[in-house]
Amino acid sequence: MLALLRPQRAPRYRRAPLNAADDERLDRLGRVGDRSVRALKGPGRPIQPEDERAEILAALEVVDYVTIFDDDTPRTVIARMLPNVLVKGGDWGPDEIVGRAEVEAAGGRVVSVPLTAGYSTSAMIREGLKTLTTEE
């Protein structure tokens, strides 16, 4: 199984892979690298370096291996690994999930997991900035 998750806080990581795994092991977990995060989210991101994000995920009991990719999309990583299950966050529609065609063509399935409220890094940054500006 390959879960491709956006960089977010650890509690969301703990829940999403486990819910999506249906009691299966997450053999490999793909992580968006720092360069890709900056391209997607802008300067000042990511908040936590890729090695630290990967270390948190690797510490999960159900994860055997974490790979970091810096491509604009995970298509190459997915096509190379061809997981039996591809897990993606629920903020992506079925037709937007990159690698879906490759996984399904190989007989795998794609699982979209709901996001856990309260763990959006972008929302936390906005709230932090709002707090700073109101305190001044």
List the CATH number of the domain containing 127.
3.40.50.620
> Does the pTM of the predicted model rise above 0.95?
no
Range of the domain at 97: 2-135
- Dist CA 21 CA 8 (whole Å): 18
CA-nearest of 44, 59, 61, 106 to 81 is: 106
How many domains is the chain built from? 1
Q: pLDDT 10s digit of each residue in the chain, 136 long?
A: 445 444 343 444 445 544 554 555 567 788 889 998 899 888 888 888 999 988 988 888 778 888 899 888 899 999 998 888 888 888 888 889 999 999 999 999 898 888 777 777 778 888 888 887 876 5
